[in-house]
Structure 1
């Protein structure tokens, strides 16, 4: 069953460009993963430093494999997460 991830990220406006660049790099790299079905990055309108990610994978195992990639470690764990002031993640199965 397909697996979806919706993540809301917020950082200080001063860190917005850095977080945006890292998320856009993830958008370039993630679709090459075998289990990825889609990876969308959105900037919230009228809320500087706020992003929404919508990701789809063939299943939860595919998402877990995504978290083990070098690019996830470099761009999300190493760059984005330390700059966030708020983070919520919702996991869902596609009906």
Structure 2
């Protein structure tokens, strides 16, 4: 399995809007992408501007397909100006 983790640092003024958008993105990914097996969205209770994603895909090709979906493009465009920092990491789960 292919694991993607993402840590977002969101601008404080946009934290609530980002939260709604990223939760919708997770739901869309799980419902529309059979190869997306998990899409967890975690919020730091001490800092609502810090968001952690844990995504699980069948393989790298499935993640690459995810990044080409319409809902991914819409999410990325919507949150682009709200994000101060974004760190992606890629893992393999045996």
Give the structure-2-normalised TM-score: 0.93
Residue 18 of structure 1 corresponds to which residue in structure 2? 17
1:1-95 matches, cutoff 5 A: 2-32=1-31, 33-75=33-75, 77-95=76-94
Q: Aligned-pair RMSD on alpha carbons?
A: 0.9
In the alignment, structure 2 segments of 5+ residues that lack a partner are none
Paired with 1:79 and 1:20, the residues of 2 have a C-alpha distance of 12
Aligned length: 93
Query: What is the CA distance between 1:86 and its match in structure 2?
Result: 1.0
Paired with 1:3 and 1:82, the residues of 2 have a C-alpha distance of 28
Q: Which has the higher strand share?
A: 2
After alignment, is 38-47 or 52-61 more displaced? 38-47
Query: What is the CA distance between 1:78 and its match in structure 2?
Result: 0.6
Paired with 2:4 and 2:57, the residues of 1 have a C-alpha distance of 8
Paired with 1:40 and 1:10, the residues of 2 have a C-alpha distance of 16
